[in-house]
Chains A and B, each alone.
Chain A
Amino acid sequence: MNKVYATTAEAIADVDDGAVIMFGGFGSAGSPTNLILALAEKGTKDITAISNNIGLGDKLDTLCQNKQIRKFIGSFPIRATSQRPDLLYQAYLAGEVEIEVVPQGTMAERIRVGGAGIGGFYTPTGIGTSVAEGKEERVIDGVRHLLEFPLKADFAFIKAYKADTMGNLVYRMSTRNFNPIMATAARITIVDVEEIVEPGDLDPEAIATPGIYVDRIVKGPKHDLHGFE
């Protein structure tokens, strides 16, 4: 059982065209930048990307630049301001990509149930909005709810602070965000970490992602990215 890979290229070698990939992170915090850059280098095409945001302090817009993304699912697909070119938005207007915009809580819960083997859930979020179009509705305790289905992926690309060689993970501060839930919802979970330690070196009480969810670990440099900039 060796989960540690020497390079990002080896860790993502079987990520083929058409893959559905979850990317952890919120802005730059907790974004698996080394794996994203490796994917840009590899040139995998027709990707369905599931991520809270894109090009919002993270490096996912590199994949837009290379026209590697076919569909984006997330809560923050476009930016309100244009400090740098909004590449996904431009591709969307040109008809080159499909976008599914999802309320952030619905997205988190769809990923959570996807990882937990649950077939769906009802939520009042989105009732009376365009998010509800085509979805089953049900009144529960007098409140209208929408049926939402799980999100799963072929791969989850996530970022953690430290991993032990068994795949147990700890995160730093607000970098946790979508990473622990995405780790549960993909066939193969690949982790970009700052440091790899031996089993027993991490406090079991502090482990936020147990190693059962982690398939591959690769150590990489930490990038100097700034929030949403």
Chain B
Amino acid sequence: MTSMGLSRELIALRVARELRDGMVVNLGIGIPTLVSDFIPAGVTVIFQAENGILGYGATTADENEIDWDLINAGGQPVTLLAGASFFHSADSFCMIRGSHIDLTALGALQVSEKGDLANWMVPARRMGSIGGAMDLAVGAKRVIVAMEHITKTGEPRIVKTCSYPLTAVGAVDLIVTNLAAIQVTPAGLVLKELAYGVSPEYVQSLTEPVLIPAPDLREMDL
């Protein structure tokens, strides 16, 4: 079922369409990491890594280029772009908590109809890792979730109330899944776009809360 709709790369491509020239962006681990591969032509964004880099470039697998003193927040070796800077963790979270980050894309386990985010702990494991997720969800100006629409066992991830431990309350602005793009609004979840070949009824059948079809509901333009 999860194979229906968009690949992880296409989800990332759709998220990348939200990037605007000059934005400072922090990408979470998982699908969001892929967003940096799909920056629209003519758009320059600055990537922030919470481990202390502003202005890092592509990840690198080139043995001659890899320097393990230069990694992103996902632990991958990266390159540096002209104009990059380094700073310590308190300065890094000054950027994040002080609303200096324009957009963050995060993975999720669940998102509620009110935009509550759960992404740090599977209850059965009894412990999890928060990393920078709580700070990013609360502090970034815009929060986009990129995730598969349902779990591996077919359960909806978009729910009325999160049953998993929360990362932040009312934090999510836009949800992009393999099936749809859904905007969180005060009136509820608005179904904005559908992946190719996916019907609104099908998306609704895999979503717990009621979706409000947007007046201009359309196929995702990728």
A residues within 8 Å of B by Cβ? 26-30, 52-53, 56-57, 75-80, 89, 92-93, 99, 101-109, 111-112, 123-131, 171-181, 208, 224-229
Contacts and interface: CB of A to CB of B under 8 A. Distances in A.
A29 B69 contact: yes
Given A174-B86, A176-B87, A78 B129 contact: yes
A131 B49 CA distance: 23
25 contacts: A26-B52, A26-B73, A27-B75, A28-B68, A29-B68, A29-B71, A30-B69, A56-B75, A75-B129, A77-B127, A80-B129, A105-B50, A107-B89, A108-B89, A108-B92, A109-B93, A124-B139, A126-B134, A127-B138, A171-B86, A173-B70, A174-B49, A174-B86, A176-B52, A227-B77
A57 B77 CA distance: 13
B8 to A, nearest CB: 16
B152 interface: no
A105 B68 contact: no
Interface string B110-136: 000000100000000111111111110
Given A99-B127, A129-B167, A177-B51, A104 B135 contact: yes
Nearest to B135: A105
Contacts of B86: 171, 173-174, 176
A125 B89 CA distance: 16
Interface size range on B against A: 35 or more
B132 A173 contact: no
B165 A104 contact: no
A85 to B, nearest CB: 15
A62 B126 CA distance: 23
Query: Would you list the 4 A-B pairs with minimal beta carbon distance, nearest first?
Result: A228-B75, A105-B93, A105-B135, A227-B75
A227 B71 contact: yes
A158 B53 CA distance: 19
Given A76-B129, A177-B52, A129 B134 contact: yes
A102 B166 CA distance: 14
Contacts of A112: 90
B130 A103 contact: yes
A103 B132 contact: yes
B74 A228 contact: yes
A214 B73 CA distance: 27
Contacts, number: 153
Contacts of B165: 129-130
Interface in B53-69: 53, 67-69
B128 A104 contact: no
Nearest to B53: A174
A199 B52 CA distance: 27
A99 B133 CA distance: 18
B130 A102 contact: yes
Interface string B14-40: 000000000000000100000000000
Interface string B80-93: 10000011111011
Nearest to A30: B69
B132 A75 contact: yes
A179 B52 CA distance: 11
Contact of A178 (B89, B132, B133, B134): B89
Contacts of B132: 75, 103-105
Interface string B127-161: 11111111100110000000000000000000000
A227 B68 contact: yes
A129 B166 contact: yes
